[in-house]
Amino acid sequence: MSGKTQIELNGEALRRCLQRMPETELLRFGQAAKYICSHEANYGPPCEVPILQLREARAEWRRRHPGLPLNESI
């Protein structure tokens, strides 16, 4: 075993998937992840997976558009 956790392995696969997504799909994915992490969708704190998805979607958006502000749209 490489010593990586399942979350880390999922994060690497997610990054590769997000890099191949068209822009509109990336925005849609990020908005869905943002909703899943919201208080409206949870009775308690969200689990690690949606937080990872939102973090990675935002990172991919910033990678594609380094000069544009994120504005928390995703």
The answer to whether residue 18 is domain-embedded is: yes
Tens digit of each residue's pLDDT (9 = 90 or more) over 38-68: 888 888 877 888 889 999 999 999 999 988 7
Residue 70 lies in a domain: no
Q: How many residues does the chain have?
A: 74
Domain that holds residue 34: 6-64
Q: Are 67 and 61 in contact (CB under 8 A)?
A: no
**Per-residue pLDDT tens digits for 10-38:** 888 999 999 999 999 999 999 999 999 88
Flag whether 28 is in a domain: yes
- Whether the Cβ atoms of residue 17 and residue 30 lie closer than 8 Å to each other: no
- If one counts the domains in the chain, the total is 1
> In this structure, is residue 71 part of a structural domain?
no
